[in-house]
Amino acid sequence: MSWHVIAPLLAALVTTVLTLVLREWPPIQVAASVTGAVGYVAAVVGSVWTVVLGPAAPGVAVYQIGNWPAPFGITLVLDGLSAFMLTIAASLGLASMLFSIRYMTAENQRVYYHPLFHLLLVGVSGAFLTGDLFNLFVWFEVMLIVSYVFVAFYGTELATAASFRYLVMNVFGSALMLVAVGGLYATTGTLNMADMARRLADPAAYGVDPAPVVGLSALLLAVFALKAGLVPFQFWVPAAYTTAPPPITAMFAGVTKKVGMYAVVRLYFTVFAAGSVSADVPGIAGASPLTFLAPVLGAMAIASIVVGAFGAVGQDRLEGVFAYSSVGQVGFIALPIAVAAAAGSAGTFRRVAIAAALVYAFHHALTKGLLFLSAAVVKDAVGTDDLRNLGGLAGRSPILAGAVLVGLLSLIGIPPLIGFFGKFLTFDAAIRGIGFGPGTLSALALAASLLGAVLTILYTTRVWVGGFWGPRTPAVEVAATDSGQVTVVVALAAVVVLVGVGFDPMYRFAETAANAAVDSEAYVDAVGLGGGGGK
């Protein structure tokens, strides 16, 4: 059954090639692109059910490319954590593609839009599935190369400048990642994640000094924070999000940002947590690289929540509000991860905190995807997304306004929407964390979460009252929304509601993913080092 591991990757790759070949026949290319997006969803659903969630599911499956055994060959692993992240990519990928064919002009769709869109899914899927550190770098680069093109897609002065800044920052980040990968290979003698975890768990048997791993993992944390847009690496986010095509912005916020957070969880909790180092960090329990991750990631998360929220409050355009909001919201994802790292050997609590981060990541993907696509509908219909020119939009287009209201309420955390559970679990993780060892970080996390929640209410209320209520402006008076675009947005809003109402399966899935993240032994056993675990 190991072919299920590569099914999502193959679906995206085949669609990329097919849409490239069909570029001279636009209607056929569009049909192939939509079919490929549906096929990607089907591949993800089939693989996740067969390997992780089904009644006879093994929980983890491995594919050794070329039938080369680990740790010598390229290993792909599908477990609960990678399955959860692929589900996020599939959910938002299909919505963004359906929106694209209604929003993007025919001319822009012919400029390699569809091959690039599916190549972005290739990079994301590869990053979620790879079982070795060097190929994580490779898949990051695939994803980033496509991102550079999309940020500069419209060719305007602002888009070109934003793409250049994004490129420069990520080139330095990629170089730093390559240095860290090389250092880890020199230190541990392997790049296979399972093999690295095994060696760090018993360093004496393999002649490994775990101390350098701390510094090298810190370099990786900086890189992953840059990819996720955490403070102080958030400068690229507003410009990139407001210049890329809106369906791609939804993918950036909902999917590509999550790759950085996934990498933090996968490497630190599955791989590096197995190591033991002599350290005493005030306020943090434990003796592993997680000891150093907790305060640094916690500080980044708290700063992101504050900077992002205050930045959103000061924006006058929908895209600007939601772009800065994404900086703050990713802080809410990182915060329970930091609290989990600070929990020392409290394994059960660590799973709970990581599950909270995963639920919030899913909420953020759906909700922010909904809001960015809604902003695109507004801009396409009215000609602007400036809040000062959008008064009366609720009366002019009540269906669109209702979908936006669902997104805003979910962002605030109103029950029974999925955002409520994301916020509740984040608060719960911070409160519980106070009882596990020194609770300084957890107390700060709780305070930052409360402040972020209040500021979220402030800027979402400003969006609704300033942009949808009030006297109808002349621009809104003549606005006409596209029914196809509104249909996609309403469908996403319905998913936000339905996942919240039927939250229990979602939480069980997140728990499964969290268990996979912290169970290093199961991960190592599944990969089957020394020739086992192959095709």
* Residue 157, both tokens: 């002065």
Neighbours of 447 (CB within 10 A): 12
Alpha carbon of residue 519 to chain centroid: 21
Neighbours of 483 (CB within 10 A): 9
Q: Which residue has the tokens 């006879």?
A: 56
Let me know if 170 is exposed, middle or buried by CB neighbors in 10 A (0-12, 13-18, 19+): buried
Structural domain containing residue 415: 1-518
Whether residue 529 is contained in a domain is answered as no
Integer Cα distance of 23 and 66 in angstroms = 31
* Residue 483, both tokens: 């029914």
- Residuewise pLDDT in 10s, the chain (535 residues): 478 899 999 999 999 999 999 988 999 999 999 999 999 999 999 999 999 998 988 999 999 887 887 788 889 999 999 999 999 999 999 999 999 999 998 888 887 899 999 999 999 999 999 999 999 999 999 999 999 999 999 888 888 888 888 888 888 999 999 999 999 999 998 999 999 999 988 888 888 888 888 888 889 999 999 988 898 888 888 888 888 999 999 999 999 989 999 999 999 999 988 776 655 555 554 556 777 788 899 999 999 999 999 999 988 888 999 999 999 999 999 999 998 888 765 568 889 999 999 999 999 999 999 999 999 999 988 888 888 888 888 888 899 999 999 999 999 999 999 999 999 999 988 888 877 655 678 888 889 989 999 999 999 998 998 888 878 888 887 778 888 999 999 999 999 999 999 999 999 999 999 999 998 888 898 888 764 333 3
pLDDT of residue 532: 38
Whether residue 21 is contained in a domain is answered as yes
Integer Cα distance of 86 and 44 in angstroms = 7
User: How many domains, the chain?
Assistant: 1
Integer Cα distance of 458 and 420 in angstroms = 17
pLDDT of residue 18: 95
Q: Give, in degrees to the nearest 5, the angle at Cα 513 between 448 and 326.
A: 35
Alpha carbon of residue 208 to chain centroid: 33
Whether residue 377 is contained in a domain is answered as yes
Q: How many Cα neighbours within 13 Å face the side chain of 79?
A: 29
Whether residue 524 is contained in a domain is answered as no
Whether residue 528 is contained in a domain is answered as no
Q: Give, in degrees to the nearest 5, the angle at Cα 418 between 415 and 420.
A: 45
Let me know if 290 is exposed, middle or buried by CB neighbors in 10 A (0-12, 13-18, 19+): buried
Whether residue 438 is contained in a domain is answered as yes
Integer Cα distance of 422 and 169 in angstroms = 31
Whether residue 239 is contained in a domain is answered as yes
Helix axes 440-467, 418-433, angle to 10 degrees: 160
* CB proximity list for 194: less than 8 A, separation 6 or greater: 70, 71, 75, 77, 131, 523, 524, 526, 527, 529
E strands in 346-488: none
Whether residue 405 is contained in a domain is answered as yes
